[in-house]
Structure 1
Amino acid sequence: MPMSSYVRSIRSRIGHDLLLLPGVTAVIRNQDRFLLARQRDTGMWSLVGGGLEPGEDPREAIEREVREELGVTPRILRVVGAYGEPALQTVLPNGDEVGYVTTAYECELPDGALVLEHEELIQVAWFTRAEAQDLPRHDWIDRVLADAAS
């Protein structure tokens, strides 16, 4: 995923050291199925989302991220939870260490076709929680999906 100018400016000062970043995650469901996205950089399945821009409201950020990645503007229903754990910390291919703290929002999509953003995503598909267990996925989404289902 492209690096924002804000993160680039911080990286120029701290190098590859750990950088904690705020993010947003969209939990998009249709009854017992959840929309998961397969990421181009890792091939792993996850939830749609991304980082906040400086001064951006988290609700605006989730709308922007879903619009950028799926081509539609979601309707935000509720906050599912906030997550920041070792599973959300990683070392990127360029050596940058990053940890995310993300707020997950349950969202609905309007009727109509999705327009997949191909720079970051390979595909999207609907899965039950049980079906998601068989996918190569980021483990932290299990907790988010469980919280959304309760």
Structure 2
Amino acid sequence: MPTPEFVLDLRRRIGHDPLPLVGVTAVVFRGEKVLVGRRADNGKLQCVSGIVDPGEQPADAAVRECLEEAAVVVRAERLALVRTVPRVTYPNGDQVDYLDLVFRCAWVSGEPHPADGELTEVGFRGLEQLGDVDAAHMRVIALAIAADDPAAFDGGR
């Protein structure tokens, strides 16, 4: 799905100035494999992510993003990590400061494929097949592996 309408409305008011947004990342497991996709905008391989809509519960946003981007139904199991992402400056000059809530999710149904154009490829990979995932996203995956670990908080806590 393209940029949410509420973000476009805000951009008309504030221009390219930094905008704080809540994002979600879904680390989806199917057995011993994790769902990853290659982003159409920057070519990076990572877990499904997106922006929480106004009034939407973050876990519901993670589930929604998986269906929209990868055509898979998932169940959010636990919060794995709360982190801030370094400021993102998009090619058009828009700046965003994301608070990212990372959820461990379980695959329920559906075979992954690029569903809305945000991903150019998507599928389940074994942990040994994640060599082109950057260190920050490997940490996200590592913190979500255990089904019952408490959530981690960036910032030394």
TM-score, length-scaled by structure 2: 0.82
Give the whole-Å Cα distance in 1 for the aligned partners of 2:73 and 2:124: 18
RMSD: 1.9
Size of the aligned set, in residue pairs, is 146
The question of 1:41 aligning with 2:37 is answered: no
Retained in 2: the 8 A contact 1:129–1:145?
A: no
Retained in 1: the 8 A contact 2:63–2:73?
A: yes
Shift of residue 139, structure 1, vs aligned partner? 4.0
Q: 2:138 aligns with which of 102, 118, 142?
A: 142
Runs of 4 or more above 4 Å deviation: none
Q: For residues 61-103 of structure 1, give each alpha carbon's deviation from its aligned partner in whole angstroms, at most 9, with x where no partner exists.
A: 11211111122321121111111132xx211111111121111
Return 5+ residue gaps in structure 1 as ranges: none
The question of 1:19 aligning with 2:19 is answered: yes
* Cross-structure match for 2:111: 113
Retained in 2: the 8 A contact 1:83–1:102?
A: yes
Give the whole-Å Cα distance in 2 for the aligned partners of 1:20 and 1:145: 24
* Cross-structure match for 1:90: 88
Of stretches 139-148 and 34-43 in structure 1, the one that deviates more from structure 2 is: 139-148
Q: 1:100 aligns with which of 98, 101, 110?
A: 98
Percent of residue pairs identical: 34
Shift of residue 25, structure 1, vs aligned partner? 0.9
Give the whole-Å Cα distance in 2 for the aligned partners of 1:5 and 1:139: 32
Q: For residues 84-135 of structure 1, give each alpha carbon's deviation from its aligned partner in whole angstroms, at most 9, with x where no partner exists.
A: 132xx21111111112111111111124423431411111133344532x31
Pair 77,20 (structure 1): closer, same or farther in 2 beyond 3 Å: same
TM-score, length-scaled by structure 1: 0.86
